[in-house]
Structure 1
Amino acid sequence: MGSGPRWLLIAAIVLLGIVEWGWGIRSAMTQLTARMHAESGRPYARPPVPVPKTHMFTRDEAYAFLTAAKRAEAIKDPLQRCIAYPDPPGSHWSHDAAVAYCHYGLQPLPLSFAEAQTLIQHGQSAELDRRLAAALHAQQTQPDSPGLLDRIYHESFENSSFDVRPTLDAWKRDSPNSAFAWAASGVAYVAMASAARGSNYIKDTPQDSIDSMHKLLAQADSDLRKAIALDPKVTPAHAALINAGALGFGRKYTDDAIAAAIAAAPDNYTIYGVAIWAKEPKWGGSLDDMSRLAAQAQTHAGDNPALKLMLSKRAFYEVSNCNCEQNIELASYPAALDEVASVPDLMDAGDAAKGSKHPAVAAIYLSEALRFGPEFDDARLHRIDALIDFDEAAWAVAEATTLIAAKPGDATLLEARANAYESLNDYAHAEQDYRTMLALDPNDTHALAELGKLLVYWTHDWNGGWDVANQLIKVQPQSPYGWILRANIQQQQPRAGLKDTVDYVEAHFSGDPQMAQIITQMRSALILQTHSGKQVLAGKAPPHG
């Protein structure tokens, strides 16, 4: 072939995509390394519910929101931080409801399980009862203490571990006429029953797990009914009874428990929340049932503005179970959550956008979840990617650093911070985090792949990248990741052995459809390298470096 036709061939190869070598391989590597992570589905079925598409948050709205959110998060006092926080763009959140929910979730709790355990062990059960009675009185009479007793029980006694049983049983023996003691025991039994059942569909749950659940629910029913007989105003007992009904006692039991609970405490946020949850279609209720309870709650919203959160429950359920395209689901959340929503719902809405092309949904709703529940580390972790997307990588680094201080050996947190460092072009610190991940687990192939991409594509540390490629080839010979890194170094540096590498990749990985484009690009690079007068560089190299 003459020189003219030969270079026409080369030009045609260039048009096939060799000019995209670096970015093309990098993109393919990202897709390939993503295989290392198994994806988990949502825990419940999503029946088809028609949801009209509304609008998506714009990037400008997200930028403005995050600016205001960062300003609020600088406030030290948790309650004032929550109150000062911006609402979602375009929403119509009731200020009174948001303030009430701030008080509900962020009020200081005057008792922990450890403190209760110490009192019981020292024969001071009467003092424990006195403190809980004071919390109930504050819940009933003080606007700044909404749901105080409910929050204490949720944090201290809603425990699925059998380790709490000796303490709770001793309390019941010491205070046989204490509604608080029987309620705490029943609440714990319901949590244990839920753990015994697991999160699978009932048809996929082993019979012995179902039997264990029912035994624990029977004990819960006995203790909770005794607590209510002693004092029907002890609201955690009512909420736990509704929960028990939804888990395993059926529709009539649940409906009776809801009616009794509302009669005992008609303006209680926790009772309405668990009641509407128990009325969801997946538990045998209906959307209309949810709407009726939400409307009933509004008759007491003047006394407890937090009840306005019930207005978003049905709409959120419909959107999160719409079985629709992701774009439609994400665009529907702003309308569904037009009124203040609970932390779990806000987290679910934010997580639904995780990894999507719409990071504004994740940034806004995960931030709102942290507004009311700053202790939820999962929301903080999941928000990091969204912060990076909106040019807040320094904020993302700070968030990740705080989380790592509490869990220094958590590889997921280290990777999140490394991604944030990369966005700041701080490759030295990113490399340090990847190497820390590898120190924790030398065979962490995902960390190796990420480190290799950083060294090869960003810092052009050819020797370091070569070492990582060799290690990937050694620990995961059935994977093309290490070979792709090696080929890129051989083409970019350049370094000897590209032909040897291309031949190996084609021989071992050509059956993978995702490798077709990569192999074509490798072959194109080899032809260009060969016909540019660098034939010696295409020669043999030892197969492992």
Structure 2
Amino acid sequence: MSLNRPTQILGGLFIAAYSVLTMVCGIAMFLGPPNGFELSWLITGFVIEAGALWTFVKGADLLFGRDRPKGLIGPTAMKIIVCAYGLILIAALVMSFRSRSWQLNAGSLAALSLMIWAALTLARRRARGDTNHDVANEDDSIESASDRVRFDMLPAESPCLGDTSEMTRPGLPARTIWLTTILVGLVISVGARLIMQSRAANVASVTQNDYTVFMANAMKADAIEDPLQRCLESPDLPHAHWNRETTVAHCRMRTFKTLELADIEALLRDKKADAIDRAFASYLTAQESEEGPKGLIDIAFQNARLGKADARTRKIIDEWKRQAPASAFALTASGLQYVDAAHEARGGASGSRVTEGQWNRMREQIRLANTDLHRAVEIDPRVTSAYPPLIYASAMDGDGDAMEHNANLALDVDPSNLVIRSQLMNQSQPMWGSAFGGVENQRDESAALVSRNPLLRMVTQLPLVYKAFCDCNYPDAYTLQLVLEASDADLAPVQLTKLASVIYDSNRHLAIMLYTEALRFDPRNEEILRWRSEVMIDAGDSKGALDVMLTMARRFPADNQVARQLAVIYRQTGHIKEAEETFLAIVARDPYDVLALGFLGDLYNHQAHQPEKAAEVARRLIELHPDHPAGYIVRACYLMNANSPERYEAIHYVLNRFGDEPRWAGSAKELRAYLAKHPEPTSG
């Protein structure tokens, strides 16, 4: 067979490109679908891999054969081709390691090794020119003696293949080699995948089988009136190995009665800031006592939601500072709130996407936070709650020296404090430059102090939480394994919530149990209540979602956070009248509740279809909260529903004033989509 040189060159390039592209497709299929095991993917991928290799060998044979132009595929070129193909196979193996499964990796290695062995065996036979091994069935062999690739150009010592002198012994027929290679490799790979999938299925079935029992026990514990006993009697996660000493300490800390934001607001209204300070001083004293709950002063600030960046909280804290300017507790609350405001001002984007305006607003909030927090620790350095926001503010500002200095101040006061150690662990992650010796060092330091504070066991578990929460695009089976490992020991509600979010879509029953465990320690957390109810609805348990919220609402009848979530669940489950009544009850208790009013306006716009009531809610929101977008969004929506000519002006007002704020990106996106679908009429 003889082809002219241009045809050979073009054909060679085509074969090279086709082989590489086919190989890439085969690798993608071979590694399986992104969300689980499918045998068809594996079989298809393996066949494509074999086909790619066969195409390369057979195509080169057909194109170049014995009559190829001298030097076109010489020894060096052939070595490069063989080396390149070997590197592609190695890349396939490396890619398979993303699965983090030794079974799949072993199967991949075995299958790829068999394919390489087959290619080298055939190369050696072509080099020898041996044809007597398949005379009886020559038409079925991979190539005939007259159309054979000249692999004899390979030297005895190839840099990629090593010693090729032993590749000259005749052996099995070529067809048998290929069939054996494909079948054995397929068996190994399928077996590896099935073992991995079987392990994942066993784990998943355990969590599903235990779900009913766990939820029944959780509901039984919910009926207990005493908060501490309710927490202690609540079930641990199935098959987890939580430490009872740590769990008891955690329950004691979380259930100790402390002032809430409404209590602080009422005391300030009566000019009783001194009563607030006395209460917080008592928490600090109890924390420092031998028998008192560890971390009590820190949880008191959390229970009062004093670190929340909103206008109402800021107003209350400013009044507290005005009435008690030398209060270390008021200054700590102020610093906590400023740091949260700094975090919001920066937004969640990566550093390169943060605008100069966002950086400036963040730094201004950090400046205010540092002023109040440093003054707080000067007045009373024992207030441990002031140190974590100082450390985090320094990290956000990129000031490593200040972060180190603030950490040393904190450790001098209380080296075994939960929130301080948790903050140090957070900053020790690689994303923060592995400060304070890195994650492993912080884990070891915390473990050494568990005898002083059993709550530190939760800190030692954080590296596993970080690994599970890394957004590394792991296969579902491996992600599930990481979540179970991370939740095998005691964790704080925020960490349990993170783990639940990781497997929200892939294992809803486990997500529900993780949210339930988080609510065991933080039963009034508005976001966790909402997420648990939503995942229960997604799992087909709408009645259960409503029942657990009704239980919480009966336990905390005057709590607007719980009531808001009950109203949201009423709405999601189609109980529109009950949702409206619940929102109205919230507004009756707190006429300024911007979230309840916003939800109520949205209900009138979209489910209740009462535009006149939506218009009244919008008017009220704009009057009470002129700097909040809720009222303007409700107004734009009811004008859109009515196809009012004023709707475009209302939409542009929202977009121009609030459209660039990350918190309102979803609403802005919907309004822009409306404009794209309903273009403004042109004048004239």
| TM-score between both structures, scaled by the size of structure 1 | 0.62
- In 2, Cα distance between the equivalents of 1:295 and 1:284? 18
Q: Which residue identity lines up with residue 492 of structure 2 in the other structure?
A: S
Give the one of 408, 425, 428 matched to 1:276: 425
Q: Does 1:407 align with 2:564?
A: yes
Deviation string 1:257-286 (CA, Å, 9 cap, x unpaired) is 222212211221111122212222222226
Q: 1:209 to 1:413 in 2, by over 3 A?
A: farther
What are the equivalent positions in structure 2 for 1:117-516 lying under 5 Å apart? 117-120=265-268, 123-141=271-289, 143-154=291-302, 155-165=304-314, 168-169=317-318, 171-172=320-321, 174-285=323-434, 289-321=438-470, 322-356=472-506, 358-384=507-533, 387=536, 394-401=543-550, 406-407=563-564, 413-416=570-573, 439-441=607-609
Deviation string 1:380-412 (CA, Å, 9 cap, x unpaired) is 343346657889664333125568982389566
Q: Which residue identity lines up with residue 572 of structure 2 in the other structure?
A: E
Q: Which residue identity lines up with residue 504 of structure 2 in the other structure?
A: K
Q: 1:119 to 1:391 in 2, by over 3 A?
A: closer
Question: 1:89: how far off?
Answer: 1.9
Question: 1:86: how far off?
Answer: 1.6
Question: 1:175: how far off?
Answer: 4.1
Number of the residue aligned with 1:525: none
DSSP-derived class of the 2:491 partner: coil
Unmatched 5+ residue regions in structure 1? 1-47, 419-434, 444-473, 476-545
Unmatched 5+ residue regions in structure 2? 1-96, 102-195, 554-561, 576-602, 612-640, 643-684
Deviation string 1:199-237 (CA, Å, 9 cap, x unpaired) is 222222221121011112112112211221222111111
Give the one of 208, 215, 220 matched to 1:66: 215
Q: Which residue identity lines up with residue 375 of structure 2 in the other structure?
A: K
Q: Which residue identity lines up with residue 106 of structure 1 in the other structure?
A: T
Asked which structure has the greater CA Rg, the reply is: 2
- In 1, Cα distance between the equivalents of 2:269 and 2:610? 46
Deviation string 1:314-341 (CA, Å, 9 cap, x unpaired) is 0110111133123321232111222111
Q: Does 1:82 align with 2:239?
A: no
DSSP-derived class of the 2:519 partner: helix
| TM-score between both structures, scaled by the size of structure 2 | 0.50
Q: 1:50 to 1:123 in 2, by over 3 A?
A: farther
Q: 1:51 to 1:153 in 2, by over 3 A?
A: farther
Q: 1:112 to 1:65 in 2, by over 3 A?
A: closer
- In 2, Cα distance between the equivalents of 1:268 and 1:99? 17
Q: Which residue identity lines up with residue 418 of structure 2 in the other structure?
A: Y
Q: Which residue identity lines up with residue 212 of structure 1 in the other structure?
A: R
> What RMSD, in angstroms, separates the aligned Cα atoms of the two structures?
3.6
Deviation string 1:56-113 (CA, Å, 9 cap, x unpaired) is 342223233223223222222222121112212221110111111122222211x234
Contact 2:512 2:536 in 1 (8 A): yes
Q: Which residue identity lines up with residue 414 of structure 1 in the other structure?
A: R
- In 1, Cα distance between the equivalents of 2:347 and 2:521? 27
Moved more, 301-310 or 347-356: 347-356
Question: 1:373: how far off?
Answer: 1.5
- In 2, Cα distance between the equivalents of 1:287 and 1:186? 23
Q: 1:158 to 1:396 in 2, by over 3 A?
A: closer
Q: Which residue identity lines up with residue 149 of structure 1 in the other structure?
A: I
Question: 1:137: how far off?
Answer: 0.5
- In 1, Cα distance between the equivalents of 2:538 and 2:318? 51
- In 1, Cα distance between the equivalents of 2:436 and 2:430? 7
Give the one of 242, 249, 257 matched to 1:100: 249
Q: Which residue identity lines up with residue 325 of structure 1 in the other structure?
A: P
Question: 1:343: how far off?
Answer: 0.7
Aligned residues, how many?
382
Higher RCO, Cα 8 Å, sep 6+: 1
Question: 1:165: how far off?
Answer: 4.8
Moved more, 288-297 or 366-375: 288-297
Contact 1:235 1:265 in 2 (8 A): yes
- In 2, Cα distance between the equivalents of 1:125 and 1:386? 42
Q: Which residue identity lines up with residue 490 of structure 2 in the other structure?
A: V
